[in-house]
Amino acid sequence: MENKTIVCISCYFKGYDFMDEMKKLGNKVILVTSENLKEKPWPWHAIDEVFYMQEIKPSVWNLEHLIQGFSHLMETRKIHAVVALDDYDVEKAALIRENFRIPGMGQTTHRYFRDKLAMRQKAQDSGILVPEFTAVFNNDEVEDFIRRTPAPWVLKPRSEASASGIKKIKNEEELWQALQQLGEERHLFLLESFKIGDVFHVDSLSFNHRIVFTSASQYLASPMEVSHVGGVFRTKTLGIHSEDFKALYKENAKLLSYFGLLNGATHSEFIKGKEDGKWYFLETSSRVGGAHIPDLVEASSSINIWREWARIEDALLKDIKYSIVTPTAYYAGLIVALIKEKEADTESFECDEVFKFLPIDYHIGIVYQSLDPSIIHTRLDDAAKKINSDMLQILPPQSKPTS
């Protein structure tokens, strides 16, 4: 069978397992990444060629130069697939596919997984509940939104990842000041009602328009909360027989069907409204979740999302059968926090439920695994108290989030 050539695009250091698995499956792997990531420990054994792009600003490349460079690459190489390894790369990959007629998600569909305004409009048009929102292009429309929707509100960048750039707005005066400060970048934002409730994330894999794997989890401290007030990031998986899991499975399946996702990994977020108990869609992305969520998913299910995504891409390229093993049914928890020391002293956190410690500079990261969900919750709470008391470092929000 003919080996296939896959171009992986990433402006972050990530996707090690994806590229490693692709190479194991007999494919040629080309990496296009930012020049400032040259020294990162990429899986060089799995990468046949690498090309570097200069960053105009964090995660932003000159797209014209990207197309020109890809054109030269295509002269002597047949490219079978282009894969975006990070949220910031989805637009780049879609642009390349459209220009060079490479199969996969194009620019129309990619907007539903990248542009937060487009995804909200699409969800609303599809009958999926979303928090009240408006574009901020027109002053009269903003005024109308203010009259209809009580504060607080959230001013969100349309194309940032994670909780980067989100600002909570308390009143009308603060809103107009914030819009004025945005200047010529105002059109890049949207305004949304601030919903109170528990936030959940759903991580899934699809093959030929069919969802083949779903993991659902609840944030105990949401990315927005950690990004804005500091503290400890925590999330835990849900049992597959719980009512919340069943509801999220249904909402996620409906979402991906309406959005037209055919294949690959997705990370979606929903909020369960405190006042009405209804599920509201927050955002989605056509990628593997960040913040070490794949480690959480693997601890609970034994499914490595990065490697399974590679196997899906390989099956599609070679037109062969794909199947996924039956997931295990553990409960898992994840805790990550910024600390003062470069290397975390993990000795006091050792226990039977530790699945792994995550080696991240100036962070402590722990993944727990157990058959008892109450033990997971207790371990996360105890670890958070210890970290807050002895280790935590709080810095101002970064302009470029860890993704």
* Domain CATH code at residue 384: 3.30.470.20
In CATH, what number is assigned to the domain containing residue 156? 3.30.1490.20
Residues 189 and 207 occupy one common structural domain: no
pLDDT tops 60 at residue 403: no
Mean pLDDT calculated for residue range 283-287:
93
Q: In this structure, is residue 403 part of a structural domain?
A: no
Say whether 214 sits in a helix, a strand or coil.
Answer: strand
**In a domain? residue 116:** no
Q: Average pLDDT, stretch 116-137?
A: 96
Residue 78 sits in the same domain as residue 217 = no
- Check whether residue 318 and residue 368 sit in a common domain: yes
Mean pLDDT (the chain) is 93
What tokens does 366 get? Answer: 């722990």
Among the candidates 104, 123, 152, a domain finishes at 104
Q: Which of residues 174, 193, 212 is at a domain's end?
A: 193
- What is the C-alpha separation between 283 and 112, in angstroms, rounded? 9
Domain range holding 82? 5-104
| Residue pair 22/46 in contact by the 8 Å Cβ criterion | yes
On whether both 222 and 302 belong to a single domain, the answer is yes
Give tens-digit pLDDT for 33-76.
Answer: 999 999 999 999 999 999 999 999 989 999 999 999 999 999 99
Residue 398 has pLDDT above 60, yes or no: no
In this structure, the answer to whether residues 14 and 81 fall within a common structural domain is: yes
Collect all residues with Cβ–Cβ distance below 8 Å to 5 and sequence separation of at least 6.
Answer: 27, 28, 29, 30, 77, 78, 79, 80, 81
Q: 181: which 2 tokens?
A: 């400060």
- Say if residue 264 is in the same domain as residue 321: yes
> Is residue 239 a contact partner of residue 372, using CB atoms and an 8 Å limit?
no
> Cα 302–305–308 angle (5° rounding)?
95
- Host H or E run for residue 31: strand 28-34
**CATH code at position 27:** 3.40.50.20
Least confident interval from 105-109, 311-315, 381-385 = 105-109
Among 169, 193, 217, give the residue marking a domain's end: 193
Tell me which amino acid residue 41 is.
P
Counted domains in the chain = 3
Element (H, E) at 271: strand 264-273
What number is the average pLDDT over the span 187-194?
96
Give the CB-side neighbour count of residue 266, counting CA atoms within 13 A.
Answer: 33
The pair of structure tokens assigned to 259 is 């959005």
Question: For residue range 330-361, what is the model confidence (pLDDT) as tens digits?
Answer: 999 999 999 999 999 999 999 999 999 999 99
| Distance separating alpha carbons of residues 189 and 187, to the nearest angstrom | 5
Stated pTM of the model? 0.92
- In which band, very low, low, confident or very high, does the pLDDT at 266 lie, cut at 50, 70 and 90? very high
Asked if residue 293 is part of any domain, the answer here is yes
Rounded CA separation 398/383 (Å): 24
- Are 273 and 196 within 8 A, CB to CB? yes
pLDDT band at 223 (very low <50, low <70, confident <90, very high): low
